[in-house]
Amino acid sequence: MKDYNKTYLSKATGGLFWYNRTERVLNINITLLRSVGPKLRGNVQVYKFLSNEFRYFPVTLSLNMCEEYKKNTFGLLDLFRTYSNVKVNSCPLPQGNYSMKNGKIDFSQFPPHIPKGTYKTEVKLFNDRDYLGHFDVIADVSPKEILRVIN
């Protein structure tokens, strides 16, 4: 996490780590000082790496994170149920210590036709109007199948 609101969080760390030679996993540690939700919102902006820098890409979203969690968007509900101590099915999330260990992201839950390239996704989290934190995710998108030229 790049930064966070210290009135809501006393600790917020996380990232992707190598689980084995081919797979990365997600580890997260968060201490919530106050409960968050049901108006937990994520503002998402995507950038694509072009000409040696990340440039604006026309994907901008404002999501109710509680609603997306309940709908299991991107497999978030399954990810948290399986690999973390978050056992609630919806918001609000009560204050406490939360962690995820070796969370395996199911990439089949992501949109299938994203153009190949390197992307940076910037996520800013808000609880109603209160700023909670900000993190970036950088990922390479490559085709599943080898492209071939047909005469």
Residue found under tokens 């409960």 = 35
The pLDDT of residue 37 is: 85
The pLDDT of residue 113 is: 83
Q: State both tokens at 4.
A: 């966070």
The pLDDT of residue 1 is: 83
The pLDDT of residue 107 is: 87
Structural domains in the chain, sorted by start: 3-108+117-140 (2.70.220.10)
CA distance 75 to 1: 21
* pTM confidence score: 0.87
Instruction: pLDDT tens for the chain, 151 residues: list them.
Output: 889 999 999 999 999 999 999 899 999 999 999 999 889 999 999 999 999 999 999 999 999 999 999 999 999 999 999 999 987 777 889 999 999 999 999 988 888 888 899 999 999 999 999 999 999 999 998 876 655 566 5
